[in-house]
Structure 1
């Protein structure tokens, strides 16, 4: 059995998308891209909410030289699990629909939950997360989609690692206390 961890970008005021739903405020320098390459090489699969899946599935299958060869390869070959009660089929290579968050607990290997506030809130609410990795971007958005927006139990976290990127963004890694 592996781990389920959330890895997502967030603004300093707690948003994962701005009021228009855009994520273009996130930084993506060479140092961060190297981190993403290493992360993708270290996981056994990834999970997304439906909306995030649809956006990513529209981009990654045709991604070009603007992303690294590692990212193109791993985003293609890794199993992708989509949390959705409405989506019935996928057309992105190696993507699978999961109707509810508890099914994430039965997946083998290390799974990164990359996107979706609803998916993150569901996983937190069910106590499924082993780790939370937040890339805190040095920006205040003032509104948009919150990372955790809903009901979930109080959860203690322990800071286990931090990394500062040249852009000023911080990767904060927290273990979920059991």
Structure 2
């Protein structure tokens, strides 16, 4: 059975984006874009690098290591479209979840307007590699019981407010720490699995 991994950058106080939900990588001082943690991402998780950026980083022909499918919420997807990128992950099967969108401009992007939990359970039964949940918080909250692995790229910054890691009702879920990778940049990559 395939597994669902929520791999996302977050602040020390648990935020993945600013309150306006704009792309955090475009905000100075939010997430560190330079440092040794970036080299590890390119080496260990090449498939999370957007397709249009991969050639400049020498990853154009790099095979996927973990994932063959990416799940994205409407707000995250629309942020890319607004920046002129209709399908940031052409090298993966790309599903966008929305109850309000009726179409998406990405030719290969699949729009899902049904229950995300039912869809993820269906995807888990298919043959293939792991499934990556890129965000956002609303979709992650809806899928919290389906998340098998949580990989946090924890940045040494606090935000004070913003978009939390998961949105939704108070529902504590326990995870087991499986791996910690420390970087000179101060970033930690923390891998948790459901026990």
Q: TM-score range by the shorter chain?
A: 0.7 to 0.9
Q: Does residue 44 in structure 1 map to residue 59 in structure 2?
A: no
Give 3-state SS (helix, strand or coil) of 2:141's partner. Answer: helix
Asked if 2 retains the 8 angstrom alpha-carbon contact of 1:5 and 1:113, the reply is: yes
Alignment partner for residue 31 of structure 2, among 23, 26, 33? Answer: 26
Give 3-state SS (helix, strand or coil) of 1:119's partner. Answer: helix
Unaligned runs of 5+ in 1: 64-71
1:140 Cα offset (Å): 0.8
Q: Does residue 96 in structure 1 map to residue 110 in structure 2?
A: yes
Alignment partner for residue 134 of structure 2, among 114, 117, 136? Answer: 114
RMSD of aligned residue pairs (Cα, Å): 2.2
Asked if 1 retains the 8 angstrom alpha-carbon contact of 2:86 and 2:105, the reply is: no
Please identify which structure carries the higher helix content: 1
Distance 1:60 1:35, change over 3 A: farther
Once the two structures are superposed, residues 116-174 of structure 1 have per-residue CA deviations (whole angstroms, 9 ceiling, x without a partner) of 010111110xx111111111110011111111232153212101111123321111110
Once the two structures are superposed, residues 16-59 of structure 1 have per-residue CA deviations (whole angstroms, 9 ceiling, x without a partner) of 11234341211222644444444212211111110001112344
Instruction: Select between 114-123 and 92-101 the one with higher mean Cα deviation.
Output: 92-101
Residue 171 of structure 1 is matched in structure 2 by 189
1:60 Cα offset (Å): 6.8
Q: TM-score with structure 2 length normalisation? A: 0.76
Count of paired positions:
165
Unaligned runs of 5+ in 2: 48-63
Alignment partner for residue 159 of structure 1, among 177, 183, 189? Answer: 177
Asked if 1 retains the 8 angstrom alpha-carbon contact of 2:20 and 2:162, the reply is: yes
Asked if 1 retains the 8 angstrom alpha-carbon contact of 2:35 and 2:184, the reply is: no
Instruction: Select between 21-30 and 129-138 the one with higher mean Cα deviation.
Output: 21-30
Aligned 1:122-161 pairs, distance under 5 A: 122-124=142-144, 127-151=145-169, 153-161=171-179
Distance, in Å, in 2 between the alignment partners of 1:45 and 1:62 is 16
